Amino acid sequence: MSRASGWTRGSAADASSLAVTVAGTDGNVRVTSERTNWHRPVALLLLFMGLVLIAPSFAPYDLAQQTTVSATKNQAPSLLHPMGTDATDRDVFTLVLRGAQISLSIGLGSVSIALLIGAAYGALAAMLGGWRETLLMRITDVSLAVPRFLILLAVTSISVKAFTSLQLMLLIGCTGWFGMARLMRGEVSALLQRDWVLAAQATGVHRLRLAVHHLFPHLVPMLLVFTTIGIGHTIVLEAALAFLGAGGSGASLGFLLHSGSSIFASTWWLAVFPGLAIVLLVFACNALGDALRDVFSPEQVHSWPTT
Amino acid sequence: MLARLLQGVAVVLFAASITFFLIKALPGDQFSERSTNPNISAETLARFRARSGNDEPLLAQYWIWISSAAQGDLNRSDIFNKPVARVIGQHLPATLQLMSLAFVASMVGGIALGTWQGTATGSRAERLSGAVSLALVSIPEFWLAMILLLVFAINVHWFPTQGMSNLNHDGTVVGIILNRLHHLFLPWLSLTLLDIAVISRYHRAAMRDVMGQQFLRTARAKGVPEHHIKWKHALRVAVLPIITIAGLYFPALFVGAVLIEQLFSWPGIGSVLPQAIASRDYFLVAGIVVVGSAMTATGSFLADVTRERLDPRLRR
């Protein structure tokens, strides 16, 4: 991963003008404002996530009312049950709404944890400098090389008690911040080279204030991109764990796929709809991450985390 | 180079140690399932525990496990009643077969697609393919595998639903190979389709970077034909970061293969892992983690070596 020099060049424009030039897709040069265009994608993302999070309250059926022996179990999609019913007579649409809520909460929670730890760690390393920076970064390098999914799988599968969603969130978050730390250190140490930092330091600004008031605003775009793409990533990670039967105790979308996977040859709707919901959630995150990245840093599309 | 090798060993050791301690830190052991079995008395369980060394101090257990693991002995698997190393040895070749075919195809496909996308910037076809790539990278591979299985194997019977071979061949070598490929196609396609999208997205970005560079202008000024510039001069430079990505991508491919094998009953590691998870076969799970970490380390080591070979700027 290259040093994020392009981004800092982009934001170098902040003193003189708020505009950066972007080579348009048609080959002409168009001018976009660096700071104004991000509101719409972010608002869309928040709206979408809010909808997913509150959707189960408007679900058409009550999941508590299930019967094991019933004439309405394993029904194909119909007007009454738009996504069919499962083997215990539950409405799959209601299950998918709740599963999406659980998957998204785990994604949001883990990424927030990873963001907090990683950003603090990376910024600390960059601001300390010297051998302490090298040491801190070596630790993240080794941790990044460890196959995280397999270890998460080993842990979640072997615990006798299934993890609650909160525990899973903590587990995924606390093992997912190394990339963030590395990225953050790169960005912060690039920012620290800039003249206005020197100017701020010369006026006697405290280090903490420098970090929060001076450096942080420059990092918001990068953090936003990381968050959106990270959420999508985490949803897939959790779904893969749950699909192998090793997720948390919550009925996330991956768990629905897991429970449908043994009988999906005859009941295709149990496999298709939860999966489509995952794709939709992840696609929303990826597309918004892409859009944000294009708005913020047209010059260096690939030095930030992609899928 | 030696330092790089040592780092790889350190990573594997680190991963193995984390796995061991996390497993031990969690409540329960490989005998907890049996404590609910009325036919097994508490004394028998205690004897089991003593014999397997579960009563020893944690560090002693760790030392025994890690030192024998270093010699290739990963302890015994409970469900197979065989050494873990042998269980893995029996199932790894099938996984590697699937992985290597998917790896080659997604590298070639991804680099070709990415080169085209990176040079045809702005055309309608390029934008469409970019959107398709973005959609594809949002699909979990195991779900794509389910859908392909549902459509092409269960509904229209074009492909077999499971296994690596059946008796539907004439017994000749060609027949056996064709039969294997027929079984391989759907699992391979599920992995490859998505990986092409991932690789092409990285490669497209790298190509776009390179296309703006000075040495290409020089080449154009010398009269080098445009397709030569794209597919020889630029590609040669842009492909270098992809080598690193390829190394990093190896573990993801392993996980993807494991997930997909389960669906297609492909007799690889993926057919063993869910069983090991379901019956809490500690040492088998830990063994698979160790093998996975070793593959990860090998992947990034090979990527570094290759890159150093191909990139004159890294040679000293």
Give the domain CATH number at A286.
1.10.3720.10
Question: Shortest CB distance from A146 goes to which of B11, B201, B258?
Answer: B11
Interacting residues of B36 by C-beta distance below 8 A, sequence separation 6+:
none
* pTM reported for the whole predicted model: 0.80
Two tokens, residue A119: 């950003």
Q: Which CA distances in Å does B177 have to A63, B102, B166, B184, B292?
A: 50, 17, 11, 10, 28
Searching chain A, which residue's CA lies closest to the CA of residue B250?
A147
Interface test with B, best of A150, A168, A252, A276 (most B CBs within 10 A): A150
Q: Which of A226, A222, A115, A228 is nearest to A169 (CA)?
A: A115
Q: State how far the Cα of B307 lies from the Cα of B316, in Å rounded to an integer.
A: 13
CA distance A253 to A101: 9
Flag whether residue A306 sits within 8 Å of chain B, measured between CB atoms.
Answer: yes
Smallest Cβ distance to B11: which of A142, A153, A236?
A142
- Determine whether the interchain pair A301/B208 forms a contact, defined as Cβ–Cβ distance below 8 Å: yes
- A-chain residues near B142 (CB < 8 A): 240, 243, 257
Per-residue pLDDT tens over the stretch A9-48? 333 333 333 333 344 344 444 444 444 466 777 787 778 8
Q: Above 50 in pLDDT, residue B154?
A: yes
C-alpha of B264 from chain center: 16
Give per-residue pLDDT as tens, A137-185. 888 887 877 778 888 888 887 777 778 888 889 989 998 888 888 888 8
Residues of B in contact with A158 (CB under 8 A): 23, 26, 28, 277, 280, 282, 285
Phi, psi of A33 (to 5 degrees): -80, 135
Query: Taking CB atoms and an 8 Å limit, are B18 and A153 in contact across chains?
Result: no
Alpha-carbon span B142 to B259, nearest angstrom: 6
Would you say residue A15 lies in a domain?
Answer: no
Mean pLDDT of chain B: 81
CB contact under 8 A, A246 and B296: no
Q: Does the structure show a pLDDT above 60 at A304? A: no
Going B82 to B298 to A232 to B107, the CA torsion angle's sign is negative
B280: phi then psi, degrees, rounded to nearest 5: 50, 50
- Sorted by where each starts, the structural domains of chain B and their CATH numbers stand as 91-314 (1.10.3720.10)
In a domain, A21, yes or no: no
What is the spatial distance between Cα B19 and Cα A213, in angstroms, rounded to a whole number?
40
Inter-residue contact B282 to B74 (CB < 8 Å)? no
Neighbours of B286 (CB within 10 A): 24
Nearest to B87 by CA among B98, B73, B99: B73
Shortest distance between the Cα of B43 and any Cα of chain A, in A, equals: 21
- Examine residue A127 and state whether it is found in any structural domain, yes or no: yes
A70-to-A48, A64, A65, A73, A264 alpha-carbon distances in Å = 35, 15, 12, 6, 19
Residue with token string 């190393």: B85
Under the banding of pLDDT at 50, 70 and 90, the label for residue B34 is: low
Give, as one character, the DSSP assignment of residue A91.
B
**8 Å CB contact of B23 and A151:** no
Nearest to A16 by CA among A36, A41, A34: A34
Q: Which residues of B touch A271 (CB under 8 A)?
A: 143, 146-147, 150
The token duo for B285 is: 């799970």
Tell which wins on pLDDT, B126 or A302. Answer: B126
**Residues in chain A within 8 Å Cβ distance of B135:** 279, 283
Work out how many domains chain A is built from and give that number.
1
Q: What is the pLDDT of residue A121?
A: 93
| Main-chain phi, psi angles of B216, to 5 degrees | -75, -35
Q: Give the span between the Cα atoms of B224 and B215, in whole angstroms.
A: 12
Residue A203: domain span? 42-62+84-298
Q: Is A277 on the interface with B (CB under 8 A)?
A: no
Rg for chain B, CA atoms, rounded: 24
Average pLDDT over residues B213-228: 84
Cα B154 to chain centroid distance, Å, stands at 26
**ipTM score here?**
0.79
The C-alpha atoms of residue B263 and residue B249 are separated, in whole angstroms, by 22
The C-alpha of A32 sits at a distance from chain B's nearest C-alpha, in angstroms, of: 18
Considering the domain boundaries, does residue A240 fall inside one?
Answer: yes
Q: Do A151 and B19 touch (CB under 8 A)?
A: yes
